[in-house]
Structure 1
Amino acid sequence: MKPPHLFAYFGVELEYMIVDTQTLAVRPWADRVLIDAAGKPTSDIERGRLTWSNELVAHVIELKTTLPEESLDGLAEGFAAEVAEVNQRLAAHGVCIMPTAMHPTMRPEEAVLWTHDFSEVYAAFDRIFDCRGHGWSNLQSVHLNLPFSNDAEFARLHAAIRLVLPLLPALAASSPFVEGQPTGRPDNRLAFYRHNSAKLPTLCGRVIPERVYSQADYERIIFDPIAAELAPHDPDGVLEARFSNSRGAIARFDRNSIEIRVLDIQECPAADLAVLRTIIALLRELVAETHVPLAAQQSIDVEPLRALFDATVEQGAAALVAEPTVLRACGVATPVSAGELWRQVIARLDPCATASPAEQNALAVIAAHGPLAGRMTRAFEAGETLDSIYRRLATGVATNAMFQPLS
């Protein structure tokens, strides 16, 4: 394997909820499908290029790249095939996979924690935070892992990611409903996520990571305060600071990567991969200092980025982007809506030019019609029921079908 230089590899993780085929209520079947496939209790099943895995709650299953991938080519089709395989195994039990970042009617008391491998870690989090809250038990996301080889590359990548993070809800929001009701907010998953560890605020910080550009500073500024705050609540030392860091992007120095965690999962793998290609293309420009020098990227503080993040969580594509460094970083000259900013970025970079037709179509739909949350909301406002909306989503996830309002 080549050394982990910038953009040499990509790690992708997609989380899906498991629901009852008849009622669409969440069902804690992740352990059963993993046991069925492996023949014994397990938390991971390697299936060639992709792996099935568990998550905190038993109604969520994760599909992820087994090893870092040199290219995203073929992953959309690969993930869709694995979704179809999981669905085939679940069908006999009257359950299936459903996409989007929050279940639209689930109530927190329905959550069942994973009880097999690593359950002591989940139990510790539950004891401290009560993981029955939406920000813990009702959230499905996409994680993108990007490599670096040393402090210099980490500094470039971390600076670039910090600038892009606040814009991501305007591209990927898919959670407009909570407990059966529209909230007017496109990204309820992140609205809950930004407060889910408020009891120990150092874990999540301000979601946007601090201005930290070396491993030593990261240990001192981020990991050490997390460890100190955890210690009185974790006398057995079950929780480690590096795994408890819940910022929107987290450094994993044990594997020389940064993991982006603020992306809502889309309606199908083609849409997820199209979104990831777009983010990677923009990050490449930032790392290359195409529009903004590294020093300027590194100088922007947390608070203006957090303010923009809050705006895109609450308003999605309609949020105004006026922060000068963010605008310049995206090649945009004047303040615009976040949706218009992404349209300009997509038109300029054409990130799916060499991708599959399904990914090209997915990005075209997102550019023309906005994030999935907006399309779902428009369908609901036009009279389609939540049950109909989510049944269409559950049907389309394995065939890479994009979601559009019926009328």
Structure 2
Amino acid sequence: MLAESTESESNSISLFEAFGVEVEYMIVHDTSLDVAPIADQVLRDEEGQPSEEVEHGDIAWSNELAAHVVELKTNGPAPSFAGLAQKFQANVNEINSSLGQIGAVLMPSAMHPWMRPELEMKLWPHGYNEVYEAFNVIFNCTGHGWANLQSCHLNLPFATDEEFGRLHAAIRLLLPILPALTASSPVCERQMTPHLDHRLETYRHNADRIPQVAGHVIPEAVFTRKDYEEQILQPIYDAMAPLDLPGVLRHEWANSRGAIARFMRNTIEIRVMDVQEHPAADVAICQLVANVAKALTEEKWSSTSHQQLAETKRLKEIFLNVIDDADETVIVDPDYLQHFGWTEGTCTANQLWRSLADQFPVEETPLADALQVILEEGTLAHRIVRTLHGKFESRLLPVYRELCSCLQEGRSFRGLD
């Protein structure tokens, strides 16, 4: 049983007083760009032994599940987004410097464009491996929904049950339109997919064997810890118990919804955002999302009680459309739009985000520049698709090589000359 709320509330951080950001990148061979399951070559402790987490000042490096993935994350709560992009960028460059000595490099974007997980997936074999093996036994992690999905996670804190209820209501409303900013996965197994955010399309099916694990990805309308544990977490634990007899997976992180409550640290972790081509883009998106979430919790456009009435089914319908069309998705639900102050009839998801970005500008120059590219030139997925159009086979490798350069140099992808 998790600790009681009153125990964790006494030393918790209130709404929007701090933030946690995590970004994942795949390691690839620097010539072929094929996946390279060698994360343990850079994740080493002070004795030089493989470690699932290594601290580098304000940023920590870690692995999750797949041996070709490195995750960079804020090393504890960050009091603001100021300077975070530069810290992440410095750590990207440090990892690339190490990888360069063994013929490898970090690749951004949310899915490797030609990885064959059934042939190339390798589980992280070191610490925490018992958890990954347990997942693998139940779900068979040699699918794209486990082995080939790199994301950016944003953790937002709450201090009390009341704050949790307000924050969860706000995040549920935001989830459907986040891929309109972040979609970066239009290619899978050398094919253009029908989804600009193919990562999310695969992710939402990765636990189909136990549907309770991911639900509808959009979380249920529950707004207290007690209801969350009873209606979301306990059904997951009960459904998994016959397949997880040691109880290795009986933890809140087994929940695979698009945003999950982490009561052990009193945060909600947003998980539906594809990783971008350089850290400033991810941090810019996180700051905008946090600003809009804050406005929602402060009831800028609608009351919390009204927000909490949003039906999961209706939110899921918008979400699925945005997975397909990202920023070009037309949103026709007036009640949904009203939650964000949009009263001018239907709009595209891009128009809605432009309106929100105008109201909550990201001021730090690298962040503002990165966000402007997304809002004016489209999601990374759209920019990839435009660049590949009509020249898919000849440009696929050059496009992803250019993305690797964008990550190393800290700049936005603007196509190929």
Give me the TM-score of the superposition, normalised by structure 1.
Answer: 0.97
- In structure 2, distance between residues paired with 1:21 and 1:281: 38
Contact 1:15 1:60 (8 Å CA) reproduced: yes
- In structure 1, distance between residues paired with 2:239 and 2:16: 34
* 2:51 matched residue in structure 1: 42
Alignment partner of 2:322 out of 276, 294, 312? 312
| Alpha-carbon RMSD | 1.3
Aligned length: 404
Cα drift, residue 149 of structure 1 = 0.5
Contact 1:144 1:261 (8 Å CA) reproduced: yes
1:193 aligns with 2:213: no
| Paired residue type of 2:144 | H
* 1:214 matched residue in structure 2: 224
Cα drift, residue 322 of structure 1 = 2.0
Contact 2:233 2:255 (8 Å CA) reproduced: yes
Q: CA, structure 1 residues 404+184, in 2 after alignment: closer, same or farther (shift >3 Å)? A: farther
1:399 aligns with 2:409: yes
1:390 aligns with 2:400: yes
Secondary structure at the aligned position of 2:43 is classed as helix
**Any idea what the Cα deviations from partners look like across 1:33-78, whole Å, max 9, x if unmatched?**
1127751121111111000101100000000001100011111011
Alignment partner of 2:116 out of 107, 110, 113? 107
Secondary structure at the aligned position of 2:245 is classed as coil
| Paired residue type of 2:352 | L
Q: CA, structure 1 residues 186+340, in 2 after alignment: closer, same or farther (shift >3 Å)? A: same
* 2:376 matched residue in structure 1: 368
Q: CA, structure 1 residues 382+359, in 2 after alignment: closer, same or farther (shift >3 Å)? A: farther
Contact 1:175 1:186 (8 Å CA) reproduced: yes
* 2:4 matched residue in structure 1: none
Percent sequence identity over aligned pairs: 46
Cα drift, residue 278 of structure 1 = 1.1
1:18 aligns with 2:27: yes
| Paired residue type of 1:27 | A
Cα drift, residue 295 of structure 1 = 0.8
- In structure 2, distance between residues paired with 1:43 and 1:71: 26
Secondary structure at the aligned position of 1:13 is classed as strand
- In structure 2, distance between residues paired with 1:12 and 1:38: 28
Contact 2:17 2:157 (8 Å CA) reproduced: yes
Alignment partner of 1:348 out of 359, 376, 379? 359
Contact 1:6 1:148 (8 Å CA) reproduced: yes
**Any idea what the Cα deviations from partners look like across 1:321-369, whole Å, max 9, x if unmatched?**
122332112221121111111112112221x12x1x2111101111101
Secondary structure at the aligned position of 1:27 is classed as coil
Q: CA, structure 1 residues 143+74, in 2 after alignment: closer, same or farther (shift >3 Å)? A: same
Secondary structure at the aligned position of 1:299 is classed as coil
Secondary structure at the aligned position of 1:163 is classed as helix
Cα drift, residue 241 of structure 1 = 3.9
- In structure 1, distance between residues paired with 2:95 and 2:228: 39
| Paired residue type of 1:308 | I
Q: CA, structure 1 residues 398+160, in 2 after alignment: closer, same or farther (shift >3 Å)? A: same
* 2:214 matched residue in structure 1: 204
* 1:151 matched residue in structure 2: 161
Q: What pairs with 1:46-57 in structure 2 (closer than 5 Å)?
A: 46-57=55-66
Secondary structure at the aligned position of 1:82 is classed as helix
| Paired residue type of 1:256 | N
* 2:5 matched residue in structure 1: none
- In structure 1, distance between residues paired with 2:129 and 2:11: 34
- In structure 1, distance between residues paired with 2:333 and 2:153: 26
1:248 aligns with 2:258: yes
* 1:172 matched residue in structure 2: 182
* 1:379 matched residue in structure 2: 387
* 2:6 matched residue in structure 1: none
* 1:97 matched residue in structure 2: 106
**Any idea what the Cα deviations from partners look like across 1:291-317, whole Å, max 9, x if unmatched?**
011111001110000000000001111
